[in-house]
């Protein structure tokens, strides 16, 4: 671009014309810079077509892996029956289903064998979205003056739009995992990749130990809505939308944020439009019938109510749903002063409010909802069917970083007081007594559910990444081992444990499951619990930790490479149903039901932008554990339901478990 300017200047004879030209071009350059969060030298989808396909594991290996995973959970007789069931499955029904699966995979080379059934699994489940599916990520604070609610909301909206515009123009940096980032996360590496033929792009990156990741989910971050339907929802996307959905006090507004040609409106304009929302809301007051609460109910119930709103209640409801709500690029929830806010001493009320709350000021069907509290605390609540943590976390990190680096609006923002009434449009859905009654019931039910949900937190400063690496241990393995020891101490049993692992290294990969409860972790827990009888020293206990870490690392690698067993068995079961075959005995066995009764459900996200994350238990008597291991501490946020599982008892024992593991690592255990 600079060379182009100089060339034009060369052929422009008059100094005044040169200055005018330079000023005009620079203004356009500055405007172009404002529109995009990144301008990557490599196209966003540079590697997408050459990503390898998700492999279908060998049937015998899947059976072996399932057997290993269930062994610590079963007694000898149940284990023997499982061995027998798997032998029969491998020789009979399993081989038939494997053939069906391979044939289906060959007929759908554009995607992965798990993609469609995984989508269907999400979209067919009738459970309410909040707590059950929609996770929460809370951003760290912006400690500058920009923490003001509307200032921070404006900056987050602009950075989100910059992310979206970069994605649309194919100039968002491709997602890559660098094995040695100091050597390859460089401009020279990207320059080399530009000259590698597209047909060899991914394999060229592999030569530098760089692993490109699937980016097919990224386009679904914006303009996407999950539409409730009877028995199976659908996903509808509007990529050319110019507005966002803004919620305040249960009232809804469509706010234009892009101009007529798709460019981001100036910062002062967006700020002024969000201020207008507050003014309109103050004038109208908190909504008496916050229809958004209906997005929190059973999906079939919501489907029937939405249909009733469109076809029976009528009015402009159908147009408002399709053009203003469903088509919005994303949802921005501006919470009020009386909602819970950030309290460093007690995060639990804020976590409960942002995870689900009473649902009045939410639209859980949108792909992503940015939530900004009255004190400027910001969070992301996202619908999970369309994508997984890799895409969401990339968006979350990039937006947070951009808001810190670029203060598009500050406390000195100057507005023109020229808001066009058409650019901020109240969305007034027409209701009737049936809908009004159902809204009230939904709010009451949400309040009751949140009253039953416990959130317990732990921050432990003795165990951290540095300590684990010092002892050549996987930090994740140490965390997972501590969960097993804590649960055994608290409830005296071993249970189905789930850890999500991304398979984004493959085209249209989703996730695979790591099963952290292994015979190695069980041996450590049993030995530790009986230490007085066995007289084990810290060196022997450390060796058991080392064995657990090695096993966990092996399982993690297998899962990341598409060699877990959970998704394979899930797809085989799907083939049986698709071909009207009776379910093989293994799917009806106690072993399979036990391993899939995920009482301990865990997920970890590593991010410098993340203050805390949370999600609900996946079974009523379970624990939902969002955790992280940082350079100077480790921590966990644990959800549980009252009268079903004592999360406080678990978190207390987790602290003890981490203390004890620390003592072993420091060779101080007596």
Instruction: For the sheet with 368-372, list strands across it.
Output: 424-427, 251-256, 243-248, 331-334, 368-372, 378-382, 136-139, 610-614
Which tokens belong to 385? 């069917």
Give per-residue pLDDT as tens, 371-384.
999 999 999 999 99
Cα gap 458→509, rounded to integer Å = 32
Q: What is the CA radius of gyration of the chain?
A: 27
- Whether residue 533 contacts residue 80, with contact meaning beta carbons closer than 8 Å, is answered with no
Phi, psi of 644 (to 5 degrees): -125, -40
CA distance linking residue 365 with residue 333, whole number of Å? 13
- Pairing outcome for strands 497-502 and 600-604: parallel
* pLDDT level of residue 63 (50, 70, 90 thresholds): very high
Mean pLDDT of 382-401: 95
Burial 438-467 (b: 16+ CB within 10 A, else e): bbeebbebbeebbeebbbbbbebeebbbeb
Range with lowest mean pLDDT among 118-122, 134-138, 231-235, 528-532:
528-532
* 28 pLDDT above the threshold of 90: no
Handedness of CA 442, 443, 449, 450 (dihedral sign): positive
C-alpha angle 421-425-426 in degrees, rounded to nearest 5: 125
User: What pLDDT does 413 receive?
Assistant: 81
**Cα distances (Å, whole numbers) of residue 295 to 227, 241, 439:** 10, 22, 10
Please tell me the predicted confidence (pLDDT) of residue 1.
Answer: 43
Helix (H) and strand (E) counts for the chain?
25, 18
Q: Which residues lie closer than 8 Å to 563 by C-beta, 6 or more apart?
A: 55, 57, 61
Give yes or no for residue 536 having a pLDDT over 90.
no
Judging by DSSP bridges, how do beta strands 378-382 and 368-372 pair with one another?
Answer: antiparallel
Can you give the pLDDT at residue 26? Answer: 47
pLDDT bin (cut points 50, 70, 90) of residue 145 is: low
Q: How confident is the model at residue 15 (pLDDT cuts 50, 70, 90)?
A: low
- pLDDT over 60 (residue 304): yes
pLDDT of 9 above 70: no
Residue 2 in this model has a pLDDT that exceeds 70: no
- What's residue 146's pLDDT? 64
Angstrom distance (rounded) from CA 232 to CA 300: 8
Average per-residue pLDDT for the chain: 92
Contact 240, 412 (CB under 8 A): no
pLDDT digits (tens, 9 = 90+) for 87-97: 999 999 999 99
> Which residues are known catalytic residues?
384
Q: How confident is the model at residue 12 (pLDDT cuts 50, 70, 90)?
A: low
Per-position b or e across 470-502, b if 16+ CB within 10 A of its CB:
eeebbbbbbbbbbbbbbbbbbbeebbbbbbbbb
How high is the pLDDT of residue 315? 86
Pairing of β 453-460 and β 497-502? unpaired
pTM of the predicted structure, to 2 decimals: 0.93
């Amino acid at each position: 671009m600079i060379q182009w300017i100089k060339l034009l200047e060369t052929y422009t004879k008059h100094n005044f014309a040169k200055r005018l030209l330079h000023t005009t071009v620079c203004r356009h350059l500055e405007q172009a810079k404002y529109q995009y969060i990144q301008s990557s030298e490599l196209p966003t989808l540079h590697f997408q077509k050459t990503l390898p396909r998700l492999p279908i594991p060998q049937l015998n290996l899947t059976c072996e892996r399932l057997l290993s995973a269930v062994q610590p959970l079963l007694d000898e007789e149940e284990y023997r029956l499982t061995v027998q069931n798997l032998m029969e499955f491998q020789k009979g029904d399993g081989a038939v289903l494997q053939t069906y699966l391979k044939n289906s995979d060959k007929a759908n080379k554009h995607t992965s064998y798990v993609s469609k059934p995984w989508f269907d699994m999400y979209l067919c489940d009738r459970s309410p979205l909040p707590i059950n599916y929609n996770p929460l990520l809370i951003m760290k604070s912006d400690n500058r003056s920009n923490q003001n609610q509307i200032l921070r909301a404006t900056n987050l909206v602009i950075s989100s739009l910059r992310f979206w515009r970069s994605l649309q123009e194919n100039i968002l940096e491709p997602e890559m995992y660098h094995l040695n980032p100091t050597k390859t996360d460089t401009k020279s590496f990207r320059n080399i990749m530009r000259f590698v033929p597209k047909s060899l792009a991914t394999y060229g990156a592999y030569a530098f130990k760089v692993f490109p990741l699937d980016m097919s989910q990224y386009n679904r971050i914006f303009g996407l809505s999950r539409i409730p339907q009877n028995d199976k929802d659908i996903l509808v996307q509007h990529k050319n939308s110019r507005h966002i959905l803004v919620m305040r006090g249960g009232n809804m507004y469509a706010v234009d944020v892009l101009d007529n040609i798709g460019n981001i409106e100036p910062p002062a304009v967006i700020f002024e439009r969000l201020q207008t929302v507050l003014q309109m809301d103050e004038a109208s007051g908190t909504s008496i019938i916050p229809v958004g609460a209906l997005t929190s109910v059973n999906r079939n119930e919501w489907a029937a109510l939405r249909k009733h709103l469109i076809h029976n209640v009528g009015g402009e409801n159908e147009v408002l749903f399709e053009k203003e709500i469903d088509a919005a690029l994303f949802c921005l929830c501006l919470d009020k002063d009386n909602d819970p806010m950030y309290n460093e001493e007690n995060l639990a009320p804020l976590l409960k409010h942002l995870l689900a709350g009473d649902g009045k000021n939410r639209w859980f069907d949108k792909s992503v909802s940015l939530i900004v509290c009255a004190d400027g605390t910001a969070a992301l609540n996202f619908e999970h069917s369309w994508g997984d943590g890799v895409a969401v976390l990339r968006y979350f990190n990039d937006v947070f970083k951009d808001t810190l680096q670029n203060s598009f609006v500050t406390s000195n923002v100057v507005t023109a007081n020229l808001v066009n009434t058409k650019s901020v449009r109240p969305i007034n859905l027409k209701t009737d007594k049936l809908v009004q009654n159902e809204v009230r019931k939904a709010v009451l039910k949400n309040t009751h559910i949140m009253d039953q949900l416990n959130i317990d937190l732990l921050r432990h400063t003795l165990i951290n990444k540095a300590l684990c690496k010092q002892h050549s241990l996987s930090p994740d393995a140490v965390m997972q081992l501590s969960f097993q020891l804590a649960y055994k101490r608290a409830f005296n049993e071993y249970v189905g444990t789930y850890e999500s692992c991304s398979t984004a290294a493959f085209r249209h990969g989703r996730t695979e499951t790591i099963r952290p409860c292994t015979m190695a972790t069980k041996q450590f827990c049993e030995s530790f619990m009986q230490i007085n009888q066995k007289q084990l020293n810290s060196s022997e206990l450390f060796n058991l930790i080392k064995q657990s870490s090695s096993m966990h690392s092996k399982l993690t690698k297998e899962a990341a490479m598409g060699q877990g067993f959970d998704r394979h068995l899930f797809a085989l079961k799907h083939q049986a149903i698709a071909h009207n075959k009776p379910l093989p005995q293994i799917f009806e066995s106690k072993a399979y039901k036990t391993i899939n009764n995920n009482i301990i459900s865990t997920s970890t996200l590593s991010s410098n932008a993340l203050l805390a994350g949370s999600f609900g238990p996946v079974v009523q008597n379970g624990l939902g554990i969002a955790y992280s291991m940082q350079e100077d501490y480790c921590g966990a946020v644990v959800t549980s339901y009252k009268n079903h599982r004592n999360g406080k008892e678990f978190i207390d024992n987790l602290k003890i478990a981490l203390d004890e593991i620390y003592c072993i690592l420091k060779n101080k255990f007596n």
